[in-house]
Amino acid sequence: MIARRHPEWIKVRAPGSPEYTRTKELLRELNLHTVCEEARCPNIGECFSHRTATFMLMGEVCTRNCPYCAVAHGKVKPLDPAEPLRVAAAVKRLGLSHVVVTSVDRDDLDDGGAAHFAATARAIKALMPATRVEVLTPDFKGAHRSIETVIASPVDVFNHNTETIPRLYPIARPGGKYPRALAVLEHAKRVARALGREVLTKSGLMLGLGEEIAEVISVLEDLRAVHCDILTLGQYLRPSLEHLPVARYVAPQEFAELRLKALAMGFRYVESGPLVRSSYHAWQHVS
């Protein structure tokens, strides 16, 4: 059975506060993209109103075409070498103590954009040394060298989303591989430890695509097995009729129960709820 109507707990207030408008204007002024806008995040009003945003590097067009994702796919543009500096400038003007930087998939690049992530982290720290930098990366096709490039830069949190259960990967994430997602997190943690650095690792899943709770628990166990520190769990929302349908709306109580189970497994922090996304309240995840 396919869920069609949003329940009451999914509804959010339309954005429009003065801070929301100022944040949006700053992003346009600096010619920056955010996953908040490109992925049609339901929390954009809240986050922009608090002068926070998740910056999306390397353009607004992705080389993959995941059927759950609202980000456009197709022909990509060359990297903009000045983009890291503009992101850093935005972080400074917004006065952020914690910033999340993500990207589209760039399978056209030899390193998948790892050097661009690293350059952005360095640019942010140069202007705002005390700001925590969280990166939400693609899987870099599993390339160890790309992961090492990112970890060698001054990042504080390395996030790579598992997104869904293994059974649904061919449907929801055909360009990815579940074992590879786990391996990315595992290698990031291993490299950070080898460098003597404490870099927290983080991952997230969207629920409501047809997974069983036992399958979700199995993924959480796999994440803990690779020493993942932080977990986010949220409801999948269909961006358009061209995207995968919602199979089920998970009730808030179920999210609360999953949070308790995940904490009992040893996750350092768990953000779990219908409207939770990878960077939602990210500054609290490391406090």
For the chain, domains (ranges, CATH) are 34-284 (3.20.20.70)
Q: What CA–CA distances, in Å, run from 38 to 60, 67, 106?
A: 7, 15, 16
Which residues, including other chains, have CB under 8 Å from residue 18's CB and lie 6 or more apart?
Answer: none
Pairing label, strands 157-159, 200-207: parallel
122 C-beta neighbours (distance < 10 Å), count: 15
Tell which residue, 227, 237, 238, 232, has the closest CA to residue 255. 232
| CA–CA dist 255, 228 (Å, integer) | 19
CA distances from 96 to 67, 93, 101, 135, 274 (A): 33, 8, 12, 15, 26
Query: Which residues, at least 6 apart from 116, have a Cβ–Cβ distance to it below 8 Å?
Result: 57, 58, 79, 83, 84, 103
CA 67 to chain centre: 17
Sequence-ordered alpha helix ranges (H) in the chain: 18-29, 35-38, 44-49, 83-94, 114-127, 144-152, 169-172, 178-194, 213-225, 252-265
DSSP 129: T
Q: At what angle do helices 213-225 and 178-194 cross, to 10 degrees?
A: 30
> Is 159 within 8 Å of 117 (Cβ atoms)?
no
The 8 Å CB, 24+ separation contacts for 173-177 are: 173/66, 173/68, 174/66, 174/67, 175/64, 175/65, 175/66, 175/105, 175/107, 176/64, 176/66, 176/139, 177/139, 177/142
Contact by Cβ (8 Å): 95, 36? no
Q: Which amino acid would we find at residue 95?
A: G
- The DSSP element (H or E) to which 133 belongs, if any, is strand 132-136
Q: In 10 A of CB 110, how many CB atoms?
A: 11
Q: What is the per-residue pLDDT for 8?
A: 78
pLDDT of residue 230: 97
| Residue 110: per-residue pLDDT | 97
9 touches 252 (CB < 8 A): yes
Kind and range of the H or E run holding 234: strand 230-235
Nearest alpha-carbon partner for 133 in 202, 63, 78: 202
Mean pLDDT by 10 residues, the chain (287 residues): 65 60 74 58 52 79 90 90 94 87 95 98 96 96 98 98 97 96 98 97 97 98 98 93 94 97 98 88 73
